[in-house]
Amino acid sequence: DYGTCFQFGHPTAFKAASRIVAAMPKPFSNVFFSNSGSEAVDTALKIALAYHHVRGEGTRRVLIGRERGYNGVGFGGISVGGIPYNRATFGQLLPNVDHLPHTQDLAHTAFSRGQPDWGIHLADELERLIYLHDASNVAAVIVEPVAGSTGVLPPPKGYLKRIGEICKKHGVLMIMDEVVTGFGRFGAISSAEYFGVQPDIITMAKGLTNGTVPMGATFVTKGVYDAFMNGPENVIELMHGYTYSGHPLAAAAVIGTMDTIQDHKIWENAKKMEKPLEDAVHTLKGLPRVVDIRNCGVLAGIQLEEKSKDDPAGYSRECSYELFRRGVMVRYTGPNLYLSPPLIVNENHIDQIITKVGEVIRDVCK
């Protein structure tokens, strides 16, 4: 028999929660376990809506995502996500959802190293959306620090901080979806300090267990947590959860992953590898059909020309398949090649990866 964490707990889940919360920036104080990034996002959205409800502001139901954003495949995630293809076949989704514009403009941002100088003004579109819906109706804004699935779009300098300031001004919760950027990709458990922002809710998955066992996590600040703690002792504070939330095997994998990260200084290594990856990937500028290169943290995207109107991902797909045949696993998404090397990568590995990528681009994109 299996006793769920709805009414029971177990020491390993508490230990895992304590370990990862201790690594989080202040004032994050608590974590809600789930089984994937998609579940972590839907959990975050439900927490945001419930937070306003328990505080007597139940009119706050509007959720704001971002164009080209990817927030998983749950109904909440595809509603706030900004990739139309992901929701095209599912009819009406969540009501009361709006979207910020994305931040890419090749005329201003092409071949930027790290965060582009151009684009902070795009954050001010949030003011317009909040005014349009009325602040008293807006619950939360959800953004990926770096838009990953659309091809690695780093935020403009100051953009995320400005989003956070606008949210705070209007009493709107800021959710950072860190399923891609969290757990070491920016040299720490969260990229919040890297970008100088203080969100209210953060989602993570993937790296929590080193990908060995399904696990998602939704972190909240003490202020958000405390809002739920004022009810009677016998009342469930948040009517939400999954059968396998905090599963003992997944919780043990979290602890083992944290042990390995700390013993081998893996996050410190990732922090050191940001600049070598940046320098290496930008040597590909000028190769056939390369129209943009982007990097941030231990992430990089190489945008190729669209092969045709009917097959825009043709070149990137062919490059991805050929790289796999040559021993390098590189994901493609649209016309982009997406580099997300393991956090144990060293400079020699980076050189090997970029050399192979360059060779394949030359061969495929003649």
Res 219 pLDDT > 70: yes
Task: Report how far residue 61's alpha carbon sits from residue 140's, in angstroms, rounded to the nearest whole number.
Answer: 8
Strand segments, DSSP code E, in the chain are 28-34, 62-66, 97-100, 138-143, 173-177, 201-204, 216-221, 290-295, 300-304, 331-333, 336-339
pLDDT digit string, tens, across residues 71-85: 999 999 999 999 999
pLDDT for 2 equals 64
Against a cut of 0.75, is the pTM above it? yes
The domains found in the chain, sorted by start residue, are: 11-263 (3.40.640.10), 266-364 (3.90.1150.10)
Task: Report how far residue 42's alpha carbon sits from residue 107's, in angstroms, rounded to the nearest whole number.
Answer: 35
Sign of the dihedral through C-alpha 77, 82, 86, 89:
positive
pLDDT for 1 equals 54
93, 79 contact by CB (below 8 A): yes
Q: Cis omega before residue 27 (within 30°)?
A: yes
Average per-residue pLDDT in the chain? 96
Residue 293 tokens read as 């290169």
Q: How confident is the model at residue 230 (pLDDT cuts 50, 70, 90)?
A: confident
pLDDT for 9 equals 87
Which residues have CB under 8 Å from 210's CB, separation 6+? Answer: 253, 256, 257, 260
pLDDT for 232 equals 78
State the number of CA atoms in the 13 A half-sphere of 225 facing the CB.
12
Residue 320 tokens read as 């991805």
Q: How confident is the model at residue 133 (pLDDT cuts 50, 70, 90)?
A: very high
Residue ranges in 8-146 assigned as alpha helix (H): 11-23, 37-54, 75-80, 106-109, 125-133
187, 21 contact by CB (below 8 A): no
Provide Rg for the chain, Cα atoms.
21
Task: Report how far residue 247's alpha carbon sits from residue 209's, in angstroms, rounded to the nearest whole number.
Answer: 12
Q: How confident is the model at residue 15 (pLDDT cuts 50, 70, 90)?
A: very high
**CA nearest 96: which of 61, 139, 71?**
61
Q: How far is CA 37 from CA 129, 178, 272, in A?
A: 26, 9, 27
pLDDT digit string, tens, across residues 25-42: 999 999 999 999 999 999
Residue ranges in 112-158 assigned as alpha helix (H): 125-133
Sign of the dihedral through C-alpha 157, 159, 268, 329:
negative
Task: Report how far residue 319's alpha carbon sits from residue 328's, in angstroms, rounded to the nearest whole number.
Answer: 11
pLDDT digit string, tens, across residues 176-209: 999 999 999 999 999 999 999 999 999 999 999 9
**CA nearest 148: which of 301, 342, 316?**
301
Q: Helices 347-364 & 266-281, crossing angle to 10 degrees?
A: 40
pLDDT for 117 equals 98
Residue 314 tokens read as 């043709």
Number of residues that this document lists for the chain: 366
* Percent of the chain with pLDDT strictly greater than 90: 94
Task: Report how far residue 335's alpha carbon sits from residue 317's, in angstroms, rounded to the nearest whole number.
Answer: 8
pLDDT digit string, tens, across residues 84-122: 999 999 988 999 999 999 999 999 999 999 999 999 999
Task: Report how far residue 343's alpha carbon sits from residue 180's, in angstroms, rounded to the nearest whole number.
Answer: 13
Q: How confident is the model at residue 304 (pLDDT cuts 50, 70, 90)?
A: very high
pLDDT for 8 equals 81
Arithmetic mean of pLDDT, 267-284: 98
